Chains A and B, each alone.
Chain A
Amino acid sequence: MTIQVVAFALILAAIWFLGRNIVHNLEELGKDFNFSFLNSRAGYDINQRLIEYSNDSTHGRAALVGILNTLLVAFLGCILATILGVIAGVLRLSKNWIVGRLMTVYVEGFRNIPLLLWIILIFAVMTESTPQPRDFRGEDAEASMILGESVAVTNRGIYVPNVVFTRSLGGNEMTEAADGVEAAVIPTAAAIDWLLVLVLLVGGVFASKAIGRWATRTQEATGVRPPATFWMQLGVILGPFVVVMLVLGATLDIPELRGFNFSGGIHMRNSLIALWFALSLYTGAFIAEIVRAGIMAVSKGQTEAAFALGLRPNRTMNLVILPQAMRVIIPPLISQYLNLTKNSSLAIAVGYMDVRSTLGGITINQTGRELEGMLLLGLFYLVTSLVISGVMNIYNNSVKLKER
């Protein structure tokens, strides 16, 4: 009790001391503490954006663009890192000596060298050793597009085909990107179409889950699984999707060389690519170790018991090994996703406009509102991590082994 009172008094004293200093310092600098700067004109451009933004927009809007950019690279990174990590983790356990060694080199290399160095290195590779757009010109061009003349890898970024809707719900959006004006990663005019597609896909997944549950119920009641369940599940996801794509008139907008640069398609900037690849490769190395540990944590007796029950290897994996490995894998996996999201603030190294560069960089420099800006920035990251770790705790509790 005495310790608590002493600690409480010390903490109150520290807070009072800091608070008084802040008030005093703000007074001395002639600044006040308010967030109205978010409504004033930003006056700077952001080259990478998911929503409408121009330099006439507000600082608040700029912050939102930055937040979406952060979430974009975090989302892309999490997907690629999971794929790389699972592959590397499984291959590292493989009996194939050469593959195992190769994966060890990958994992140790990325785990022991700073992420910042990898980001800069990959960015340098992207800008220094890729051809310029003009190298694609002419009959016997030095460089050529890959993947069936659809993807161009240049030192200004990677141009990939874009899906456009000729009969879009949001009006016709087959407009050319003017000179010097970049097309955003996802054209906003097509947002409503993409929303529709997304809703259908999510609905399809739920419907296919329902079919799966129905099939299991039928199997438990009658002993026979309804035929072609898998195809029904697949159809309910893909069917509506294909129909809507056809109705909306989806076509591929393939990038082509016009003048000194490529136009059409999606332009993925080097900054995004370098950040995305570096984050994915780096986090993938950590995920590989998690996956390896998770699989090794399931004791061999489990496999043998499943075989003794007469389960085939496939079902053994799905019904016995994976559910147990998942319990070990998921919590650290999610904390890796969290790390990836936080590490995306290294975007500063390649000039990717994430929330730290917009809200925590240019906006602070222009308005001189360090205290408010950093507070909002910290709050964004904090809320993101608390939400994710909250979800993780719920999950953990639901899969926890029930003990005394």
Chain B
Amino acid sequence: MANTPSFVRTQMLEPQDPPLGEKGVVKWIRENLFSGWLNSILTLVSIYVIYWVLAHILPWALGGIWNAESLSECREIRDASGVGHDVACWAVIGARWHQLLFGFYPSELYWRPILALILFGVAIAPVLFDTAPRKLLIVTAIMPFAAYWLLWGGTIWGPIVTALGFVIGWAIIKYGSATLGALGATIAAIVVPLLYWLFVAGAISGALGSALPIGIESVASDRFGGFMLAIVIGVAGIVMSLPLGILLALGRQSDLFIINKCSVFFIEIIRGVPLIVWLFTASLLLNYFLPPGTNFDLMLRVIIMVTLFSSAYIAEVVRGGLAALPRGQYEGADSLGLDYWQSMQLIILPQALKISIPGIVSSFIGLFKDTTLVVFIGLLDPIGLSNAIRADAAWNGIYWELFIFIGLCFFIFCFLMSRYSMWLERKLQTGHR
């Protein structure tokens, strides 16, 4: 062949470093920030916006005053220090943190909500993380009654006697199925505890209370406030609305005509009207629907309303999950000979709930944020307390510090919830990517 190469390299050349513009920081900046005229403009505008915001906020926030008794004292300190610009007066948070956190809860009893919160942490652990010891589920079962007793106080017999109702219902399902049949046992497990709570429970707890007066100082609902109120309403709503929402979703997917129509009616009515209207309904109208002379706690009404409201939203989310499952799953469960509840419990719900986790958690976040609306019916949530603090002559005119503190606390709670849901989603991911 004529065109045999005259020179062939026999050994490999050492790879050279890439040109300076093609590696490291320079390359990253060029690719990510200045990869075209539009991108460059966007970058410059963003940098300017960030600079502008930080230049206004940082000196104000970082130069803040932490030790003062009133807003005027804050201003005196600021003027004395000779800072040219406005500075934050964080002292209000130091002076009023106990109100922002606990409302008007008696200060010598603060250990009770704190203990309840710690217990709640222990109780929620086995639900959130499957690595936690399973024995903790006992704490979870006791928790609602213990929390009620710790927060509101009073005789210990009330929560115990109420809890007994659930034990009765559980016992009927467990041991009555053999004699009554599955359907009969289910109906009896609903009806007997109801009758027990309505007619027997009050008398028993009264008798026990007079015979063995064990109890702690009771605290009325109107002493609750601040983040404690938001957390109590939020957690109670979340815990109760999830099972209710799942039941409603099953009802809406059900073939039984009456149950289906009732679920649809309930869900659409609740979702069609804003929460604030429901809260006003709870505070203004509930007396019309109750037997004359009964009157129950505003906070309890709010918890019930928030629960119903949130359960309708969760029902729609879970319905989406149920509808997303292929028909084959339902048919497969049927062909195995499982009855309705078995197939739901073992086949359908685990998959449907897994799909609906993001939606459910964002409903929870929405519920927690919506607890701020109770300020309009006279409960002292953090925003209501910020108004109360401002009504005091010492702190009249303080806005930003309180809002930032409240906003930050809400942000932390909600952000953690959404991160948890993303973690759970990744953990349960079984599909191929």
A residues whose Cβ falls under 8 Å from a Cβ of B: 2-4, 6-8, 11, 18, 21-22, 24-26, 28, 91, 94-99, 102, 108-109, 111-117, 120-121, 124, 128, 342-343, 345-346, 348-349, 356, 360, 364, 370-371, 374, 377-378, 381-382, 384-386
Contact = CB atoms under 8 A, between A and B. Distances in A.
A108 B415 contact: yes
A99 B262 CA distance: 48
B258 A356 contact: no
Contact of A6 (B35, B187, B274): B187
Interface string B379-423: 000010000000000000001100100110011001100100000
Interface in B269-312: 269, 271-277, 280-281, 284-285, 287-292
Contacts of B47: 98
Nearest to A388: B272
Contacts of A349: 376
A377 B375 CA distance: 20
B276 A345 contact: yes
A4 B291 contact: no
B240 to A, nearest CB: 19
- In the complex, the 9 A-B pairs of residues with the closest C-beta atoms, listed nearest first: A112-B414, A382-B272, A342-B274, A114-B369, A385-B272, A97-B32, A345-B274, A114-B372, A116-B372
Contacts of A91: 42
B258 A115 contact: no
A96 B33 contact: yes
Given A96-B42, A374-B285, A386-B272, A4 B258 contact: yes
B319 to A, nearest CB: 14
Interface in B235-268: 256-259, 262, 268
14 contacts: A4-B256, A95-B31, A95-B32, A97-B32, A99-B46, A113-B407, A116-B375, A117-B383, A120-B403, A121-B403, A124-B399, A360-B277, A374-B285, A382-B269
A121 B268 CA distance: 32
A345 B292 CA distance: 31
Contacts of A99: 42-43, 46
Contacts of B406: 117
Given A95-B32, A102-B49, A113 B281 contact: no
Given A94-B39, A99-B46, A112-B369, 10 more contacts: A25-B288, A94-B42, A95-B39, A96-B33, A96-B39, A117-B383, A121-B403, A378-B281, A382-B269, A386-B268
Contacts of B383: 114, 116-117, 120
Contact of B415 (A95, A112, A370): A112
B373 interface: yes
A21 B292 contact: yes
Contacts of A381: 272-274, 277
A249 B262 CA distance: 58
Contact of B277 (A96, A114, A345): A345
B425 interface: no
B57 interface: no
A377 B278 CA distance: 11
B365 A22 contact: no
A378 B292 contact: no
Contacts of B414: 111-113
B183 interface: yes
Most buried by B among A6, A97, A116: A116
A8 B407 CA distance: 46
Contacts of B277: 345, 356, 360, 374, 377-378, 381
B373 A378 contact: no
Contact of A96 (B32, B271, B276): B32
Nearest to B29: A97
B289 A3 contact: no
B376 A21 contact: no
B387 to A, nearest CB: 9
Nearest to B291: A21
Nearest to B371: A114
Given A7-B262, A25-B292, A370-B284, A378 B42 contact: no
Contacts of B222: none
A94 B39 CA distance: 9
Contacts of A22: 288-289
Contacts of A121: 403, 407
Nearest to A349: B376
Contacts of B271: 385
Contacts of A117: 372, 383, 403, 406-407, 410
Most buried by B among A98, A343, A382: A98
A356 B277 CA distance: 8
Interface in B342-387: 365, 369-370, 372-373, 375-376, 383
B323 interface: no
B258 A7 contact: yes
Most buried by A among B50, B288, B399: B288
B57 to A, nearest CB: 13
B290 to A, nearest CB: 6
A111 B362 CA distance: 10
Contacts of B375: 116
Contacts of A4: 256-259
A348 B289 contact: no
Contacts of A346: 276, 373
Most buried by B among A97, A99, A112, A381: A112
Contacts of B372: 114, 116-117
Contact of A382 (B273, B275, B400): B273
Given A96-B39, A348-B276, A21 B288 contact: yes
Contacts of A384: 272
A120 B256 CA distance: 47
Contact of B411 (A26, A112, A343, A348): A112
A184 B370 CA distance: 33
A370 B286 CA distance: 11
Nearest to A1: B256
Given A4-B256, A26-B288, A121-B403, A112 B376 contact: no
Contacts of A6: 187
Nearest to A112: B414
Contacts of A370: 284-285, 288
A356 B290 CA distance: 24
A117 B370 CA distance: 11
Contacts of B269: 382
Given A117-B406, A342-B274, A97 B285 contact: no
A3 B35 CA distance: 66
Contact of B410 (A8, A24, A114): A114
A348 B376 contact: yes
Contacts of A25: 287-288, 292
Contact of A112 (B256, B291, B418): B418
Contacts of A116: 372-373, 375, 383
Nearest to A121: B403
Contacts of A382: 268-269, 272-273
A345 B276 CA distance: 7
Nearest to A127: B399
A7 B291 CA distance: 22
Most buried by A among B187, B272, B289, B414: B272
Contacts of B287: 25
A65 B132 CA distance: 57
Nearest to B45: A99
Contact of B43 (A2, A21, A96, A364): A96
Given A3-B259, A22-B288, A381-B277, A112 B32 contact: no
